[in-house]
Amino acid sequence: MIKNFTRFTRINKPNFLKFRRAKVTDSKIEDGADILYWNRLTQRQYNSINNDVFVTDLVSVDEVLRHNKPDDCWIAINGKVFDVTKFLLMHPGGKERILKLAGRDATKDFGQIHSKDILDKMVEFIDLIGTLDGEFEEFDTEEDLIIRENMANKPSINSIFNLSDFEYVAKKVLPSTIYTYFSTGASDEFSMRENHYAYSRVFFRPKILQEIGPPETKTQFFDLDVSIPVYITAFAGARYANPLGERNLQRAAYNANVIQMVPKFLSYTLDEFFREVPKDQRLWYQLQFDTQEELDNCQNTIRKIESYGNVKGLFINVDLADLGNREKDSKKRLEDLDIATELTAFANNGNVNYPKSFSWKNIEQIKKMTDIPIALKGVQRGEDVVIAAQKGLKAVIISNHGGRQLDFSRPPLEVLAEANRMLKERGLQDKIELYVDGGIRRGSDIIKAICLGAKGVGLGRPFLYSMAGYGEEGVAKVFQILETEMKNNMKLLGVDKIEDLNEDLIDSSNLKFRSAVVNNDRLYDGIYESLGPPIFKNSVVGRV
């Protein structure tokens, strides 16, 4: 990073910003080069030059405020002022997200999404104007004031008794756009809701008068001991929920002896993240190929992951041939923008460049590249689970991406039952580990999944919601709640070990019976926010 940064008084010249460079020598400042040197320098990674003092203009708040147009866009980040005009059209999230912050301090919004050193990788697309002189006056919106009030008065964590409580609090303390991003599913969200409702169609058959000891929730994932059959699944946007993002998850997982799956779209660089990971912490990593180039460079990515030493499983996303139609999220983002654009600018449907040649052949090639066990994430039919077992893969995660990809894809619990049956019919049940995610909110859900053949389950949204209100402490509370609920259920079922959970303890005969009659989880339904119609510009909703 830039060291010993010294600020000089601005030299005003019409249409010309004077930059100077200086160097520290024996505690003395030597004169540096002129604007031409600086321009050449900024085309390279200026942060890689050590022991230099870069002297730029002081830029007043008023000056930044004037540059607030698409053809002249400045923003301030961490006390530096950048011209991002030419980057607008390159921004993966769309130019509108930057234009909302044009001429303003974007530090908070930038930090919620990006790692600290992402600016270092953008030197070819943004120009450093100078150092911000002064502070922007903060203008709180009505939503900001409500959120601040809600955070100050949120329930004590001791008042949180279940995972739906966390979501209720998160809905009150997160900006509505962020909550919608977390909670949205694909299209009409049938799959997202069915993921959860499927568990309500499986009932218990408890044994009585059993001689059992204190229930134990310990088990093994990939031959690694874990305290409960739960892992933190990979998801993007953790810093939207809490400034520390995945660091909260990593620390809580380590303390609880739970596996965290590190996402590809991490809020930190890999080096930043793994720098603070204890040597004895075991992690999984999510591999995702968004372009053909990423797939072609897969071996380099794997070598980098191997170098950290903590990753004990590589999970390849296989449900991303295209991006799901996350309509509710798209609508919400549009409502929050001052600049109207077409919905497709946000939905991004059809505008992704996922590899067209990605197939089982690639999976076999990747498997040969590393000794780290390979698993597939996003399997949605029993036949594919069988193929994975036959090809010697360590595991699959039966998942429909939290209902965010293909609406009307079956709930993972239903596919789990199908896959377990098909593996047994072929004598392959001991050749592969089955995991499942999506819709899990209770310890009883975990037990039902294990009875149907799962080795463990993954949770995503509940960890985001727990972080939103309570940070790392909230994540730890999720583990505690699920473990307590599991032990209670195991006692009442008449078992005291995870390995004793089996199909004999459940009635899953109605699992495929998808009727609205049984969709009556009051906690879940009470928080669920349905997809709404377009909003009139004059805020009069529903008038025809």
According to DSSP, residue 490 is labeled H
Write the pLDDT tens digit of every residue in 448-495: 999 999 999 999 999 999 999 999 999 999 999 999 999 999 999 999
Look up tokens 């780290």; give the residue: 372
3-class DSSP state of 10:
coil
Residue 339 lies in a domain: no
Alpha helix segments (H runs only) across 69-187: 95-99, 107-113, 142-152, 163-173, 176-183
Number of helices (H), then strands (E), in the chain: 21, 23
Computed on alpha carbons and rounded to an integer, the radius of gyration of the chain in Å comes to 26
Residue 148 lies in a domain: no
Which pair of structure tokens corresponds to residue 161? Answer: 């008794």
Positive/negative CA dihedral, 418, 423, 429, 432 = negative
Residue 268 lies in a domain: yes
Q: Are 516 and 198 in contact (CB under 8 A)?
A: no
Residue 323 makes CB contacts below 8 A (sequence gap 6+) with: 347, 348, 349, 352, 405
Q: Are 541 and 331 in contact (CB under 8 A)?
A: no
Q: Which CATH number covers residue 55?
A: 3.10.120.10
Residues 182 and 117 in one domain: no
Q: Which CATH number covers residue 258?
A: 3.20.20.70
Q: Which residues of 347-370 are buried (b: 16+ CB within 10 A; e: fewer)?
A: bbeeeeebbeebeeebbeebbeeb
Domain that holds residue 270: 157-325+354-527
Residues 442 and 381 in one domain: yes
Residues 248 and 173 in one domain: yes
Strand partners of residue 317: 377
Q: How far apart are CA 117 and CA 47, in angstroms?
A: 10
Residue 144 lies in a domain: no
Which pair of structure tokens corresponds to residue 265? Answer: 């779209």
Residues 253 and 305 in one domain: yes
Q: Are 107 and 76 in contact (CB under 8 A)?
A: yes
Residues 318 and 179 in one domain: yes
Residues 362 and 437 in one domain: yes
What pLDDT sits at residue 373? 97
Residue 358 lies in a domain: yes
**Considering its fold, how many domains does the chain have in total?**
2
Residues 220 and 257 in one domain: yes
Residues 66 and 184 in one domain: no
Q: How far apart are CA 28 and CA 24, in angstroms?
A: 6
Residue 272 makes CB contacts below 8 A (sequence gap 6+) with: 115, 116, 117
C-alpha angle with apex 374: 370 to 379, nearest 5 degrees? 155
Q: How many other C-beta atoms are found inside a 10 Å radius of the C-beta of residue 226?
A: 20
Residue 544 lies in a domain: no
Candidates 411, 354, 357, 404; CA nearest to 380 is 411
What pLDDT sits at residue 116? 61
Candidates 413, 410, 497, 509; CA nearest to 454 is 413
Which pair of structure tokens corresponds to residue 82? Answer: 């950048």
Residue 540 makes CB contacts below 8 A (sequence gap 6+) with: none
Q: How far apart are CA 401 and CA 283, in angstroms?
A: 20
Please, what are the averages of pLDDT over each run of 10 residues along the chain (544 residues)? 38 37 41 40 37 62 89 90 86 73 83 66 81 82 87 93 94 90 90 94 96 96 97 93 95 98 92 95 95 92 96 95 83 59 39 80 96 97 97 97 92 97 96 97 98 98 96 98 98 97 95 64 70 50 37
pTM for this model (two decimals): 0.78
Candidates 486, 411, 479; CA nearest to 447 is 486
Residues 310 and 458 in one domain: yes
What pLDDT sits at residue 337? 55
Residues 443 and 402 in one domain: yes
Burial of 175 (0-12, 13-18, 19+ CB in 10 A): middle
Residue 346 lies in a domain: no
C-alpha angle with apex 495: 491 to 500, nearest 5 degrees? 150
According to DSSP, residue 458 is labeled E
Q: How far apart are CA 33 and CA 29, in angstroms?
A: 13
Residues 306 and 441 in one domain: yes
Look up tokens 């654009």; give the residue: 341
Residue 139 lies in a domain: no
Q: Which residues of 50-62 are buried (b: 16+ CB within 10 A; e: fewer)?
A: eebbbbbbebebe
Residues 518 and 404 in one domain: yes
